Structure 1
Amino acid sequence: MPETSSTAAVPPLPPLAAQAERLIELGVHELAGIPADELRAFAANAGGEDSDALLAVHPDRVPASALAPLLRREDKPGFVVIDMPDVDSFAPVGIELPEAPLYLVTGLDRGDHMANWSPEEALPALTKEERTPLVLSEGIHWVLQQPAVLERNRCFMTIGSRLRKANGTLDARTPAIWISNGTGRDGRERRNAPKVGWCWWGNRHTWLGFGSATGRKH
């Protein structure tokens, strides 16, 4: 395995009630077809002010392509890279999401200690630790609720989402969320903006850890 980096402190999530209000403020509930009061009630019943968990909307209700532009960093909106037009076709693989429009993701970790690992190396290590990799929509929800989780040189992949080809094999791309340098096809105007992109399954990147959780519940 490659050398690992130390894990930096990741800011805690807001209380669930505040997370619900954040999603309502962004209009996520409308995109998902969920009444605002239903979202507030779920947050209250799921733990209210005391739960340190992420409130997520099922990706079947709101796809990554709709969530990414809601991200903000330095007043710049998030975006999906131009060569990932099939972003919404990336679906959970080896992961059972709750069969509910709203659910909680517990025990979030950015995976800084796995920076410079490849997805191929990281997945069995996460499995051994009894952790589950985040799917892309969960990673975006995390950054929506706590933008500070995305830092220069400390961003993360969401390898719970994969694209299955027509022949049944998995596409070699794996989704990730990081900060644009404003180079190439991103465009200079997008420098420092949150970016949903992809990396190869077998490649390592020093600035990317692996977002994971201890579990999901609804």
Structure 2
Amino acid sequence: MTDASRIEFDRQTERLVELGLPALAGISEEDLRALVAPLADRLPEPSVPREGHAPFVIVLTRELVDPCAAVPLLRLMGARGLGSKPGIVDRNHGEGDLATYHPLEELGVPEAKAYLLVDVERGEEFCDVRPEDALPVIRGRGRTPLTIDEGIALVMQAPHLLEKNKCFMLSGSRRSDRRVPALWISENAPKLGWCWDGNPHTWLGVASAGQRRH
């Protein structure tokens, strides 16, 4: 672990505290810090900065925080203060809302309250590609699509990655139908909505990561 990685890890930890995640989780600030602290031993080496990429993100799972409660904490890059618009959950997810989405079993998502998502890309190369066609390409590269929890964590820590015409699908979370959850911008606010697996969108890529570490 390098100093740069540790500085970023500490920044992400403090951002979770500042945004009020301990209260949403029903734990103290000290307990949240203690929960994520062991992940510092799993940090990756720094990589060359590039557009649409984050070296790692601390993920708090729905076992700890309800994603419906976390989405309103999201803001667009540059949005500050009480006048900024909170993230919203599309009301058209249907019966059960976000609770009906689960990680694809083959992803091996850790059964943990917190873990690291490493080598994250928002995947704009898959804009205008059907999600069902993008997923085999991502898997063929040894990468993994993001889940809803991971997408929320990414925008929470790196809001600059959600921008106009470069939004992304979260193909790692699915339900019994062909809906694919996605994060995009609506009325100047982050929005967690969904699209059909067989429909391409010019402004939606498919986000992926290299590893999950816990």
C-alpha deviation, 1:60, in angstroms: 2.2
Letter in 1 for 2:173: S
CA distance in 2, matches of 1:203, 1:36: 42
Hey, what does 1:82 align to over in structure 2?
Answer: 91
Instruction: State the 1:27 CA deviation.
Output: 1.4
In structure 2, C-alpha distance between the alignment counterparts of 1:140 and 1:37, rounded to whole Å: 22
In the other structure, the counterpart of 1:197 is: 193
CA root-mean-square deviation: 2.2
Q: Distance in 2 between matches of 1:62 and 1:89?
A: 16
User: CA 1:64/1:42 → structure 2, altered by over 3 Å: closer, same or farther?
Assistant: closer
- Superposed CA deviations along residues 187-216 of structure 1, whole A, max 9, x for unmatched, are xxxx11111100001000011111111111
Question: What is the match of residue 202 of structure 2?
Answer: 206
Q: Is the 8 A contact 1:63 1:137 kept in 2?
A: no
Query: How many residues matched?
Result: 191
Richer in helix (by share): 2
After TM superposition, the score normalised by the length of structure 2 is: 0.82
CA deviations 1:49-88 (Å, max 9, x no partner) are x754110112222222111111112311110111125122
After the TM superposition, which segments of 4 or more aligned residues of structure 1 sit over 6 Å from their partners? Answer: none
Are residues 53 and 34 of structure 1, via their aligned partners in 2, closer, same or farther at CA, if it must alter by over 3 Å? farther
Aligned counterparts, 1:12-27, within 5 A: 15-27=8-20
Between the aligned partners of 1:206 and 1:143, the Cα distance in structure 2 is 20
Indicate the SS of the match to 1:100: coil
Aligned to 2:52: none
Does 79-88 or 111-120 show the bigger shift?
A: 79-88
**One-letter code of the match for 1:105?**
L
Is the Cα–Cα contact under 8 Å of residues 36 and 114 in structure 2 kept in the other structure?
A: no
For the structure 1 residues 126 and 34, does the alpha-carbon distance in structure 2 shift closer, same or farther, using more than 3 Å as the test?
Answer: farther
Percentage of pairs with the same residue: 44
Q: Distance in 1 between matches of 2:182 and 2:61?
A: 18
Q: Does residue 121 of the first structure (1) align with residue 130 of the second (2)?
A: no
Asked if the contact 1:56/1:141 (under 8 Å) is kept, the reply is: yes
Structure 2 unaligned regions, length at least 5 = 45-54
For structure 1, which runs of at least 5 residues remain unmatched after alignment? 1-11, 165-170, 181-190
Q: 1:173 — aligned with what?
A: 179
Per-residue CA shift, 1:11-68, capped at 9, x if unaligned? Answer: x9x71111111111111122223432233245443238x7541101122222221111
TM-score between the two structures when normalised by the length of structure 1: 0.81
